[in-house]
Each structure stands twice: as C-alpha cells, then as structure tokens.
Amino acid sequence: MSEQAVVGRVLSVASECVPLVKTGGLADVVGALPKALAPHGWDMRVLMPAYRGMVEKLGAAREVWTGGDVFGGPAIVLAGRVDEIEVLLLSAPHLYDRDGGPYSASGRDHPDNPERFAALCWVAAEIARDGLGDGWSPDVVHAHDWQGGLAPAYLRYRGMAAKSVITIHNIAFQGMAGPEKLGALRLPYSEFHADALEYYGQISTLKAGLVTADAITTVSPTYAEELMRPEFGMGLQGVIAARAALVRGILNGVDAGTWDPAADPEVVAYDARRLKKKAENRARLIAEFGLDDVPGPLAIVVSRLTDQKGIDLLPAVLEDFVAAGGGLAVLGSGDPRLEGAMQAAAAAFPGRVGVKIGYDEALSHRMFAGGDAVLVPSRFEPCGLTQMYGLRYGTLPVVAATGGLADTVITANPMALAAGTATGIAFHPTDALALGQALRRLCALYAQPDTWAAMQRAAMRQPVDWDASSAAYAALYAELLA
Ligand code: ADP
C-alpha cells in the first residue's frame, strides 16, 4: 500500500493463515484481515511459524530479522508476499521443521507446543520493540487465540509501547502448560497467580493474553456475551467479565470473491436472479454423492466431525427427515466415532444419505451450490463460516441459535417471512428434539416454492463480506492509538 495512505501498522500473530496453512476458520480470518484492512489505511503483516515446506511457498523472500537463541535455537524471519498478504515467516527449524500438522503429529500434540508458540510471541514482541530490518515496525500487535496469547503478555511484562489486541476464535483451546515451564517460557514468576497467568494450577497462554491485552475481541457479538457466562466461558468467564469494558464482538466476514456462485469455477454459475441454474448444481451433487431422487430439501453438512458441531445429533433425526422427503450429503472428518456414525447413517438410508470422509475444499464449493440447506447444529459456535457460505449460495442455513449463528441467520418466523427478511431457520436448544422440529419446518417451507425462493433471495442479499467487520477492526485500532 502507498505510504501516505497508511494510518497505522499492525502485526498479526497467528498459527495459521490461508492460503499457507489451515486447520479451521481461524486461518480464513487471519488471511482475510490484511486485505480487508488495507482500504482503511491499516498496513498489516502476518507473523506465523514456517512449518515444514512453507518457506518454499513464500516465493521471493527477504530476511528481515535474526535471533540467536529463540527458545533453544537460532531463528530468522523471512518476509514475502502471498496472495496480496505480507507474510512474515518465523523460520526456527528446531521448533517447526518436523512431520505432522501445525499442532500435532500422528494424533498427538507436539510436546513442546508451549515453547513453539511462545517463540512466535516472543519474536512478535521483539519486532514490536526493534522493528524489522526493512524499517517496518507495528503500532498494534493483534494476537489470535492461545497460540498468540503470550504476545500481549510479553509486551506488557517487558514494558513495551505497542498496543495489543487478542481475538478469541474458540475458547475451547486455552494453551495449557505446566507451572514448571514458567522459566522456559520466559514468564515472570511474580505473575503466576489467579489474577494473571495461573489457571487451575497451570499456565494458560490464552488467559495470559486476556489479562494483558489492551483490547479483547471475539468473532461475533453473541459469542462476546456468551463468553461471560459459565455455559460458554469454559472457566474463563470471570476473567473476561472482569474486563468486559474492553471486550467487543466483531463478526467475521467471508471472502466474497472465493464464495460467489456467479463466479465459482466449481459450479454452474447462478445468482439471485438466475436461481433455476442452482437446480443443475443440485442434480450434479446428487449424482456425485450417489443419491437417488430427493423429493424434499437436500441438506448438506461441511464440518469438522466433533461434538461441538452437534454432529452426534444427526442420526436421531434422519429417519423423520428422510421420511419427509429430505436428503443429506455430509463432508467432514474428525472424531472417529462420529465418522463411523455418519457412515452408518449412509448405510441405513442408501440413496438418501451420502457421506464423504475427508477434507475437500473444491467439493465443499459444489456442495454449497447444489444443496438446498446447510445444517449447523453446533453446541457453541464463535462465528461459523459455513452458514455464511450458505447465505451467499442461497443454501438456507438451519442453525443452532448460538454465537455467530444467531447473529447471521434471520429465522423464518411469521413476522420475518411477512417482511421478506427470513434467511434460514434457527433453533434452540441444541438437541435432537429442536433439530428435528427445525428440519420438519424446513420441509414445510421447501414445499412452498414462492416462500422458499423469497428466502433464498433474501439470503443472497444479506451482506456477509468483510466490509462492516473490517471497519470495526479499523476503528478499534484507531481507538487504541488515540
Ligand atoms: P471451525 O473453525 O470451528 O472448524 P468454521 O465454520 O469457522 O468452523 O470454519 C470451518 C471452515 O473449514 C469452513 O471454511 C469450512 O467450509 C471448512 N471445512 C470444514 N470441514 C471441511 C471439509 N471436510 N472439507 C472442506 N472444507 C471444510
């Protein structure tokens, strides 16, 4: 971005970033923010670990930082551009050049995860203090989840001037480490107490960020409120409530270019005025999943298969749904028990329920284009992305009324239907009874083609891109610097 347009610089500190590495929605957000913030004058760079093979993806990289002892070995930071994102890769082979994923190998967490992500945060603080070799230095450090949690802590404990923000994408992961690691993590012993680093006798790097950051955000307004309640705060509700004045919920957006049924290379193009074309995608999807005719709504699920996502509720409601004409196509992987349950469902309802176990981005696009509805029965959902893809594709979301799902879906009650604003169905509580009722309602709405088409058009009109959210982040950074 041009120099005179810059109002401030932000160092985003994260463990994953699309398109380099992704295990969940966090990566989408970290990759989207720099592009979304640029028009507001914020120059954001993303600092992340150079996992194995990643430096090669960076293209022409320049060395912008060197450290002699970064948690047990030397490290450098390489700067480069990927997909319009200024990426800073922390190359520290002793921490990151290994088999497996970002957090685990063969199903087991890397035992030195506390040190691995502490190193990332430590280097973020070093950059905040000294800047990079190319003269760039941040005004704000924006840390994401427990992996970034120590960045605000190091800034605070080491007396550095940069402001800090921590964003909670999912409070279920809290970055625990034994108290014996205090020294190894370069944390002050004096801060190991209940009002700071200590969490039930251990260190929580997420809590460390929450108690030291200048602002706390999470990814939807409803989740921001839920986090202060015991049902959702996972033990940290008191910590967050104590800093309530600093907390705000800013909805994630989706990449409107990637998720656009009129321009998606995976699908037969359609938009709100050419909805008939969606039927071609539906027919293709039915064929791809080996289903028979589905006379009622064809629902899709694209998800990690975990209890958080309410996947375990599906088997109990399928018999009714299928009897009412519905069909289901599932794409996901995760908990072996739930993978098995989904495969059993496909075997129990051949021709009506199809399941593919795995992770397949391209197929997920075809599913959003071909489905009639997307099911997201989560027990908690900080923001959720798939319901927003559903809105973009006129694939009506059936969601649990929690977190970002509650903030993004306008449920088809009589008033919303009359006003033409309904975009899906939200149910509460997250149990099989309420989900079953929601699916019955879905079938009833599907049987009224005019109402259904009106909901599809309303869904596709609903803004779910980054416009509003990036303005909210820009305003927050500006407040911190004011
Ligand atoms: P979470 O981060 O909790 O998994 P989100 O809804 O925020 O949930 O983000 C999940 C992201 O991962 C979405 O972009 C979704 O489309 C994608 N996804 C999840 N499972 C799969 C899969 N099996 N294949 C392709 N994409 C998937």
Angle of CA points 181, 185, 190, to nearest 5°? 80
**Best residue among 308, 342, 385 to mutate for probing ligand 1, ranked by most atoms within 8 Å of CB:** 385
Average pLDDT score over residue span 227-239: 97
Give every CB contact of residue 258 below 8 A, 6+ residues apart in sequence.
264
| Nearest atom, ligand 1, residue 381 CA | 3
For ligand 1, the distance from its centroid to the CA atom of residue 12, given in whole angstroms, is 21
| Nearest atom, ligand 1, residue 304 CA | 20
**Best residue among 16, 356, 360, 364 to mutate for probing ligand 1, ranked by most atoms within 8 Å of CB:** 364
List ligand 1's pocket residues with C-beta within 6 A: 24-25, 28, 302-304, 331-333, 359-361, 364, 383-386
> pLDDT band at 222, cuts 50/70/90?
very high
Per-residue pLDDT, 458? 98
With tokens 């209890």, the residue in question is 307
For ligand 1, the distance from its centroid to the CA atom of residue 180, given in whole angstroms, is 35
For ligand 1, the distance from its centroid to the CA atom of residue 21, given in whole angstroms, is 13
* Helical ranges in 251-402 per DSSP H: 278-288, 314-323, 336-348, 361-370, 386-392
**In this predicted model, what pLDDT tens digit does every residue of 50-78 receive, in sequence order?**
999 999 999 889 999 999 999 999 999 99
User: What percent of the chain shows pLDDT beyond 70?
Assistant: 99
Per-residue pLDDT, 25? 85
CATH for 3-253+466-481, options being 3.90.1150.140, 3.40.50.2000, 3.40.50.1970, 3.40.190.290: 3.40.50.2000
**In this predicted model, what pLDDT tens digit does every residue of 154-174 receive, in sequence order?**
999 999 999 999 999 989 999
Per-residue pLDDT, 3? 46
Q: How far apart are the C-alpha atoms of 360 and 363, rounded to whole Å?
A: 5
| Nearest CA residue ID for atom 12, ligand 1 | 24
For ligand 1, the distance from its centroid to the CA atom of residue 25, given in whole angstroms, is 6
Phi, psi of 354 (to 5 degrees): -125, 140
For ligand 1, the distance from its centroid to the CA atom of residue 397, given in whole angstroms, is 15
**Best residue among 255, 303, 331 to mutate for probing ligand 1, ranked by most atoms within 8 Å of CB:** 303
Per-residue pLDDT, 255? 87
Per-residue pLDDT, 5? 81
Angle of CA points 125, 165, 132, to nearest 5°? 30
> pLDDT band at 24, cuts 50/70/90?
confident
Which tokens is 323 given? Answer: 């009897």
What are the start and end residues of each CATH 3.40.50.2000 domain in the chain? 3-253+466-481, 275-461
Per-residue pLDDT, 395? 99
> pLDDT band at 276, cuts 50/70/90?
very high
| Nearest atom, ligand 1, residue 252 CA | 7
Per-residue pLDDT, 236? 97
User: What percent of the chain shows pLDDT beyond 90?
Assistant: 97
| Nearest CA residue ID for atom 22, ligand 1 | 359
Does the structure show a pLDDT above 90 at 443?
A: yes
With tokens 């809590």, the residue in question is 207
With tokens 């480490």, the residue in question is 177
Helix (H/G/I), strand (E/B), else coil: 190: helix
| Nearest CA residue ID for atom 16, ligand 1 | 386
| Nearest atom, ligand 1, residue 376 CA | 6
CATH classification code of 275-461: 3.40.50.2000
Which tokens is 382 given? Answer: 């900080």
Average pLDDT score over residue span 90-96: 98
| Nearest atom, ligand 1, residue 385 CA | 6
Average pLDDT score over residue span 72-89: 97
| Nearest atom, ligand 1, residue 333 CA | 23
| Nearest CA residue ID for atom 26, ligand 1 | 361
Do 293 and 325 meet the contact criterion of CB atoms below 8 Å apart?
no
Does the structure show a pLDDT above 90 at 280?
A: yes
Average pLDDT score over residue span 333-347: 98
For ligand 1, the distance from its centroid to the CA atom of residue 19, given in whole angstroms, is 14
